[in-house]
A and B are shown apart, each in its own frame.
Chain A
């Protein structure tokens, strides 16, 4: 063994004690500190992660889903007047009340709806229209208009306690992290669970040279890449319990083919692995249906709605009893226009629907309907700030303070979470 090997081993045994790690971390917060414990990554799990008492899954329907196709306001005559070709016929709707009904392709979720475990809050959105996808995503996910700092609401949520473990928040299915997770708290973004391994740290690397040398290399590396490298090496070690779970879905769940099913299956597996993930984000889309949104017989919306509903239904089946701690909420950057365009599609609009499923949800239709107007530029107006919906989730499910996650915002009562 060379002298550097010995140093490495001593360092390993010294720093693998979690108490010392925490002590180091308590000096400050965020990126600067992450580099402080850069040399402290350990190869074996040190039970760094606590069990998450509640899990929030944020499913972003990217590109702006048309909420009026998913949750149809059949009681508003303007809906049918404005969409002569692409409106969803009232006779086909599910879970119909006097005013709303669900798109027929949401059928796989009907059992959850009927059991009171699924809610829809209509006419939600930003305080003022923002029709740029990119600017709206920034605004929705930053959710702190008073501050110029680019810190996402989920980063503030996981920053509410002393836990700084990167596995506290995980994006699955997409390796580019979302704005909502941007900020000083480390998080993980991976396409799949299989990605959580260090190439070269194999059975031939008997002396553990590979992980040790990589920790040395990246211990003091600056910037987001240095943070990412260190988080990755720490997360690999602690993700072990997830890799130890069976790779297939449980409880007879059958996911549809496609990225959403894969990401939600990985989400369920991660929750089963119990590695302390409190927040899991999944992106799906594009739902940017300027053209070929289509009808019930053909088009992108009916096809994607089937995929969405069957993937979510499979997810809750897969979770089994663990479903009692998991809440899913869907978000889009904005809604779509009331009136259809010439291409069987809808241009960028304003208000939208948010869906909530699972733990703590008070099922049914929520929100105040503003009434539609049939004008080429008319939008569904927003009657409920989307932050009021999210505030209920983070306060009642995650035990967070709304003022911390949504600074300067006064949430209104929505009633979608018990």
Chain B
């Protein structure tokens, strides 16, 4: 067989740049590549991303599509009581916004990190934390490139977390251990660092908050409910003599955020997210020490991560989660969200996003347990997930669903010249959708899927362009290249 002919006119990034983009954005697009080129290369682009140089209009604009996203908890609760928007719907709308952001945001690294922290400090968006979920998500996003110590304070004392992990109304008479335990196990030091007495003390420190659950959701702190007396959690001790325990909470969380075990835990999770399911120990140690040296600031850790040889060596090692697959599919096909959804309109594209992720097995922040969705290949490789992904790919490759509020490219727009050989068309598509050249396997599969021969000439009148483009586009989406990052 003679070598396949490429279509080099369609620009692509270097392999190293592509790889880093796949990890720190929601998926490759030609527009993303142009943004990187305009910045003067990946390193400069990354710095611009870290410092907020790109505009945030997309996030602001789309937030207005769902009124509860920017509303105060009081307003969200009023909308629920008025029957305008139930709490579960408000949370679903927040989930849709989080997907829309990832699809269209110019601040891709910010969105990626907001997503990372929102899974680390997981609170389900399932209508179960009263009117607080959207404000929790906005809070995390606002701190996603700051210091972990600040983010931890804000998250652990946020009413959404208090409701979820039943710290709301935990009182000195019978402290509820739920948040006190998960704070240690999941949010900070991890298992093996503390014992059951530490858990009890952790719970005592956190007593005193009151929330009017299902009444008015008013949040207050009542010193009469705070457990007083000396507390010790690992190396943290405090007299905790004052009725108002909030300064103790601040000191306690500051201690935890700066604990070496927390540094290791955050470093491990970052490395698992951005490098591989079982990240190299040396990388984790380096990242942990950067974290501690920089007083829990996250940007220096990201700089160390993005330049690490361990990252460079881990191409396509991560399986995309359901939400990542859906978002990357929208981006790869260059489908645009064109209309604000009316409240409760499930068929419109901006709301359909959510049901697309649900069909793959998990909506964003839909994980029921406090450990956040798993971040490993085994969890996202089941029969059901694979078949559901393929279904979404094919449906979108055809532009069949969702339809309303979405603009798909016309099949002819994928043909970059009046006529072209089939192998060149496949190469052009690989460059657009994958950000890299085609491969012999991809061409072979494309031939099998369409019945075309590599040298067959494709024009606008060819059956592929007229009605079989979905069968070709879905080959690129159903590939290991698209389903991993």
| Residues of chain A having any CB pair with chain B under 8 Å | 2, 4-5, 8, 62-63, 131-135, 166, 171, 174-177, 182, 188-191, 195-200, 207, 209-210, 212-214, 216-218, 221, 223-229, 231-232, 235-236, 285-286, 290-291, 340-343, 345, 347-348, 376-377
Contacts and interface: CB of A to CB of B under 8 A. Distances in A.
Interface stretch (B101-109, B301-309, B379-387): B379-387
Given A175-B384, A196-B383, A198-B387, A217 B174 contact: no
B483 A225 contact: yes
Contacts of A182: 378
B176 A189 contact: no
Contacts of B427: none
A84 B479 CA distance: 59
Nearest to A229: B386
Interface string B440-453: 01001111111101
12 contacts: A4-B448, A134-B371, A175-B360, A176-B380, A189-B383, A199-B395, A213-B475, A229-B386, A286-B368, A341-B176, A342-B173, A347-B176
Given A191-B384, A198-B390, A214 B319 contact: no
Given A225-B484, A290-B178, A209 B450 contact: yes
B176 A290 contact: yes
Contacts of A2: 447, 451, 453
Interface string B339-364: 00000000000000000000011100
A132 B185 contact: yes
Contact of B447 (A4, A62, A214, A235): A4
B394 interface: yes
Given A286-B368, A341-B174, A342-B173, A209 B449 contact: yes
Q: Which 8 A-B pairs have the closest CB atoms?
A: A228-B381, A175-B384, A189-B382, A175-B361, A213-B448, A190-B384, A213-B449, A342-B174
B119 to A, nearest CB: 14
B118 interface: no
Instruction: Name, among A2, A171, A182, A217, the residue most crowded by chain B CB atoms within 10 Å (CB to CB).
Output: A217
A2 B1 CA distance: 14
Contact of B384 (A189, A198, A291): A189
B170 A197 contact: no
Interface residues of B, number: 61
State the majority secondary structure of interface residues on B.
helix
Given A182-B378, A195-B384, A343-B176, A200 B448 contact: no
Contacts of B451: 2, 5, 207, 209
B361 A290 contact: no
B369 interface: yes
Contacts of B450: 209
Given A199-B390, A213-B449, A228 B169 contact: no
B176 A291 contact: yes
A199 B184 CA distance: 44
A227 B381 contact: yes
A190 B166 contact: no
A94 to B, nearest CB: 30
A348 B479 CA distance: 44
Contact of B385 (A228, A341, A342, A343): A228
